[in-house]
Structure 1
Amino acid sequence: MAWDFMDRKYARYAAKHQGEAFKARITDDERTPIAHFEEGLLIGARAFLLDHDVDLFADVKVEIVEVHIPAAKIIGKISEWLEKDV
């Protein structure tokens, strides 16, 4: 229950910052890649990436493309690779 609250809190913040890019690290490179934000008030929040060609644990800048608050989902795309070689 507490995790759902935190995820929605992150989603509300992300909705206000849609179109902005934040530093993140790719933590899952499966069917829908996931990145965890590492800066600002989004530290720890997950972003589901639209990109499919990703490197696990790569540092990237993720632009917030769409936010779905009821489902607590942040959708993003990689806007910049900060570190390509892992």
Structure 2
Amino acid sequence: YLLRNIEPLCARVSELERQATKAEWDFRDRKFARWAEEKIGEIFEAEIVEAGDDAKAVLNAEIHGITVHLRGEGIMLFDRARVRINEVSIPQAFIQCELVERLSREVTEL
């Protein structure tokens, strides 16, 4: 038995897989936001993974992989820092933190 017109079937399966992955990510991000809503005002260690106007950090907490939006001065990529959770939006799966203290700056010497 040979499948004919397999390309449209493969395209549809790929599209459904992308939709399932997006649903999984949305569920995970909202789960993280629900957790963070209970932790507003608390301070956590984090590692900066994006710097600039849209800075982001990954929290080092009991739940791994929580990425948060970060505000503060002097944010450098790969710095370790202490951050405070300030604002959470579960529908938008958004967690806003503020830089409290920079713990270290990773410097590579050549």
Q: Same fold (TM over 0.5)?
A: yes
**Structure richer in helix, relative to its length:** 2
Q: Counterparts of 2:54 and 2:99 in 1: how far apart (Å)?
A: 13
Match of residue 35 from structure 2: 13
Q: Which ranges of 4 or more aligned residues in structure 1 deviate by more than 4 Å?
A: none
Match of residue 62 from structure 2: 40
Q: Deviations over 1:36-78 (max 9, x none)?
A: 112222x211110122531100001110000011000000001
Say which structure, 1 or 2, has more relative contact order (CA 8 Å, 6+ apart).
Answer: 1
Q: Counterparts of 1:70 and 1:52 in 2: how far apart (Å)?
A: 28
**Structure richer in strand, relative to its length:** 1
TM value normalised by structure 2: 0.72
* Structure 2: runs of 5+ lacking an equivalent: 1-22
SS at match of 1:57: coil
Deviates more, 1:52-61 or 1:64-73: 52-61
Across the two proteins, how many residue pairs are aligned to each other? 85
Alignment of 1:25-64 (within 5 A): 25-41=47-63, 43-64=64-85
Are 2:104 and 1:83 equivalent residues in the alignment?
yes
